A and B are shown apart, each in its own frame.
Chain A
Amino acid sequence: MARREAAIAVNRFGLGAAPGELDLAAANPKRWLLEQLDSRSTTPRQFSGFPSSVDHMKNYYARYMTIGPEVRRRQAEAKRSGDQAAIDKSAADGERLLRGYVAWVNEMLGLEWAARTNVALTTQTPFHERLVRFWSNHLVVPAIKQPSTISVGTYEREAIRPHVNGKFADMLMASAKHAGMLIFLDNNISIGPNSPAAKRTGRGLNENLGREILELHTLGVEGGYDQDDVIALALGITGWSTAHYLPSNLIRDKVSPSEAPNGPYAFAYYDDWHEPGPIKLMGKTYQPKGLAQGEEMLNDLVRHPNTARYLATKLARHLVSDTPPQSLVERMAAAYLAKDTDLAEMTRVLVEAPEPWDGALAKLKQPEDYTVSTLRALGLTLASDRVPAPKLYEFDAYRPVRTMWGGSRAEPSVLVGPLAESAMSAPEPDMDAGMDATMEGGMQARAGTPQAQAYREVVAIYQSVAAMGQRPMGAPGPQGWYDRISDWSGADSILKRIEWSVALSAAHADKVPDARDFLDTTLGDLAGDDLRTEVSRAATREQGLSLVLASTEFQRR
């Protein structure tokens, strides 16, 4: 019984068994999970030395906003001179400058994703990491829009991770005040239409973040709000913007002082952008109190019963089934409300409930989780786990990009043997934020070096996950990744998973002396008789291994 429960704990709640993990959990599967809800969140070692959002704002965002005007200024100057050579040179300089910028973003994203993946591959608290990923997807800032793309790693570290075992009130506040979210959903440029700043400049409101907080972050689309409430919340959070950096057109319009103030996580509140007067949201009037007006709105929204039900439904859908039992959802929501938005308490109700332990493999792993679990089963980490922390980039556009993977002595550890050959012959990278630009630019100078190989490994694995239908860190929009079986069971996605498991098995069969033992240490009691029989009859060790990794039991949870 304990072994079966351990297999459920490790696969359904965790990230799939790493070597030895089933034995560890078997001592007391529920306690193994509950202890992870009690643990205080610490920053995994893989992230030490990574830049903060303040670092990014001072460095990268500032560069982002100056680069376009600089290109245009140089081109205008060359044009005025009438010298064809100068015009040609300014055009070439412009292209190189822009390409360097793209390359830098891509390397940073590659490092962020590699570190995040290595955390998942090595963590002793995989349930905690699942929850980080779940809440990160709930309040998502994906790498699909500039310049918030650069913030996706820092956003998760600063706004999500610290609150996963804490209060949703704190998590939402951190999210709504984080530069990544403010820029992603345009609130950094939203100005109250009756504010002093609007009167000076004619600029005005953007309702994007206000709408998504109601629709996606708190009440849910059927949570009982209307268009007036969208406007009201958007007005309530006018002036919530970013420190250290402001879009150049705002500075040009003299919307604010040219120097933005400092703020934690690069947040700044501009009082003269804030809509004056009382604002009515969901039937309640909020008095003008500057920043506190919007804070009070959020603090009420997180404590709304519809928010509790919406969050509980999503979490139960993620961990139990596409249609979680209503009684379970109600119990979770009640705990959330009774404990003042405490997420650990809400999750505890789920772990202690009978429903998740019935052994039905009702969920399909999403592609990124599936890939992580295959690597965990084999005890693999990406070579980048042994790469030093990235340095903030000294942006000099007139020299080739050659910074962040420098100093690495790491050889690829996942992409070896046949997997390396197939990955290296694969089409050029297809990363959302465009690692191929880096392949052309930055990496060229380093081709063949260990760090280039380590980077290529990260790109190739990223691509494999993307080919299964999920571009890591690239959710399609503020709604995040959808979470039902039908969202992930496309025929092509399943084929791509099989191709991955076969290629991975061929490359790493040497780590698995006997596929039958491997079955016991990964799926344990979840493996069905058919699978046991097929694995024992496999023609080769590799084939046995690939049958385990591609099996329905391994793909489901």
Chain B
Amino acid sequence: MIITRRTALGALGASSLLTTVAPGFALASAETDRRFLFIFLRGGMDSLTAVPAYGEPGFKALRGSLADGDPGEGTSYDTLKLDGLFAMNPDLAFMHSLYTNGDLAILHASCHGYRDRSHFDAQDAFDRGTVDKAMKSGWLNRMIAHLPGGMKTGRETLVMGLGPTLPLSLRGSEAVSSWSPPTAPKVSGDTMERLARLYAKDEVLHPALEKGLSAQSMGEEMGMGSEEANNFVLFAEAAARFLQPAGGARIATIDYGNWDSHADQNGRANVVTSAGTFHGRFAEMYLALDRGVKAFRDGMGDAWKDTVVIALTEFGRTVRINGTRGTDHGTGGAGFVFGGAVKGGRVIADWPGLKESQLNDGRELKATIDNRALLKAVMREHLGVPERAFADILPGSDGIAPLEGIVRST
């Protein structure tokens, strides 16, 4: 995390966080034009702040001080209209423009297979691709094994994490590496060779060293050696630089955490200084998401047309504001799927409603779509993963059919 004055100043709302972003990033390369980026919004992003159902009767009353202005209402913080029921968070202006241009779709009232309310179990289950804790590898790593020939032949599939440690989703038997900017002078080749000999028998450290060295040289080739990249916007920019080139990486993942908003979730602009207007922490989270997506879009250039990005969170939050002006762990969440290859401009939802009787346990948005239906759709339609592989990648999801028509037909 780079603490900027913006985030620091934003912290002055009562009990908001001083720090926000601690993302990691990972990717894979192969011979194909199709690109895939997965963004994990860790911590439980509040779906009704990201994509408010402003058309739902009594929405503002339910949400209390968390409700922003309706589209066109004329407040200083109007949400951005999607359709008659849904709007988008005011801080996601660029992502809203992607929606308007038909490059972004929203998944609402959705959740993964895990249905309890522990962040850590929920994230692990998502990363593993199953609630079964005996599974030791991650869904993205297993997916790589099932990519069709065109994505695997020619050169070795390369998977890497940007950020020093690797997300669970990428761990497993397929070749995996990670990258972040070097902080010290380069170690001499001679010392590195001697160390490589010493590591030869170590089944953990030896592969780590090999992958690390290959990622380092790839990073250097791309001129990414000195940049401070420890926040989401910079990692999103870096993702584009790895994914965009012909012959570059094709699959990447970024962790963007800290969405857990138990208290004082609505930290709107309230401090004005000569350096500008400063926002509360959660406004900063959305602004950074939007800036990162824009940086990624800009960096992808023409390759955007071959790109699908999925951004999902582990679960949604309670519908009603809690006693401390935040929301607690819930079920139905919201997510985004976007890119030039996405048939966007719509909200994909089997909307369960927000009346008391329509809520899960009387407190949270029901989940009526399983996130894995989206993952399967993109794997099948965009990456050419055969359906028979789904039982391995996402075990226990047999009954969940891929969503239809997510990807533009080419």
Contacts and interface: CB of A to CB of B under 8 A. Distances in A.
Interface of A: 64-65, 67-68, 71-72, 75, 88, 91-92, 94-95, 98-99, 102, 105, 143-147, 149, 183, 185-186, 189-191, 193, 198, 203-208, 211, 215-216, 221, 227, 230, 247-249, 364, 418, 422, 426-428, 430-437, 463-464, 467-469, 471, 474, 476-477, 479, 485-496, 498-500, 502-503, 530-531, 534, 538-539, 543, 546-547, 550-552, 555
13 contacts: A65-B14, A99-B5, A102-B9, A147-B15, A183-B15, A204-B323, A247-B14, A364-B205, A468-B164, A477-B119, A490-B165, A503-B185, A543-B191
Interface string B357-371: 000010000000000
Given A91-B274, A99-B5, A476 B212 contact: no
B263 A189 contact: yes
Given A105-B18, A146-B11, A491-B160, A88 B212 contact: no
A422 B184 contact: yes
Contact of B271 (A71, A248, A543): A71
Interface of B: 1-5, 7-9, 11-19, 22, 43, 117-121, 160-166, 168, 171, 176-188, 190-192, 194-195, 197-199, 201-202, 204-205, 207-213, 215-216, 226, 228, 230, 257-258, 260, 262-263, 270-275, 322-324, 326, 328-329, 361
B164 A72 contact: no
Q: Is the interface of A mostly helix, strand, loop or mixed?
A: helix
Contacts of B191: 502, 543, 546-547
Contact of A430 (B2, B160, B209): B2
Contacts of A364: 204-205
Contact of A547 (B2, B179, B194): B194
B209 A94 contact: no
A494 B212 contact: yes
B-side binding surface: helix, strand, loop or mixed?
A: loop
A412 to B, nearest CB: 16
Contact of A95 (B16, B216, B270, B274): B274
A555 B205 CA distance: 9
Contacts of B262: 185-186, 206, 208
A547 B257 contact: no
Given A469-B164, A498-B192, A555-B205, A492 B257 contact: no
A539 B9 CA distance: 52
Contacts of A67: 12
A500 B184 CA distance: 7
Contacts of A105: 18
Please name the 4 residue pairs, one residue from A and one from B, whose CB atoms are nearest each other, closest first. A204-B323, A434-B3, A491-B212, A469-B164
A427 B121 contact: no
A538 B178 CA distance: 29
Contact of B15 (A72, A146, A230): A146
Contacts of B226: 427
A432 B43 CA distance: 18
A555 to B, nearest CB: 7
Given A191-B323, A543-B191, A495 B212 contact: yes
Contacts of B257: 476
A407 B178 CA distance: 43
Given A430-B228, A469-B164, A551-B198, 10 more contacts: A68-B271, A102-B9, A147-B15, A183-B15, A189-B323, A203-B323, A204-B324, A216-B120, A493-B164, A496-B164
Contacts of B17: 144-146
A68 B11 CA distance: 10
A99 B4 CA distance: 10
A350 to B, nearest CB: 23
Contact of B323 (A95, A198, A422, A547): A198
Given A190-B323, A215-B118, A547-B198, A426 B183 contact: yes
A206 B324 contact: yes
B11 to A, nearest CB: 5
A471 B179 CA distance: 17
B274 A92 contact: yes
Contacts of B11: 146
A190 B326 CA distance: 12
Nearest to B8: A102
A231 B201 CA distance: 51
Nearest to A97: B273
B8 A437 contact: yes
Nearest to A189: B324
B322 A490 contact: no
Contacts of B207: 491
A431 to B, nearest CB: 7
A108 B72 CA distance: 46
Given A68-B271, A72-B270, A492 B322 contact: no
A106 to B, nearest CB: 8
B334 to A, nearest CB: 21
Given A146-B11, A495-B209, A98 B273 contact: yes
B376 to A, nearest CB: 26
A257 to B, nearest CB: 18
Given A422-B185, A431-B3, A144 B19 contact: yes
A503 B43 CA distance: 37
A72 B272 CA distance: 8
A216 B183 CA distance: 34
Contacts of B119: 477, 479
Contact of A206 (B182, B188, B258, B326): B326
A190 B324 CA distance: 7
Contacts of B13: 68
B14 A436 contact: no
A502 B186 CA distance: 9
Contacts of B210: 491
Nearest to A488: B165
A476 B22 contact: yes
A503 B15 contact: no
Contacts of A489: 204-205, 208
A65 B120 CA distance: 31
A205 B323 contact: yes
A552 B200 CA distance: 10
A550 B162 CA distance: 22
B120 A479 contact: yes
Contact of A249 (B4, B14, B120): B14
A498 B187 contact: yes
A72 B165 CA distance: 42
A493 B194 CA distance: 19
A400 to B, nearest CB: 16
B328 A208 contact: yes
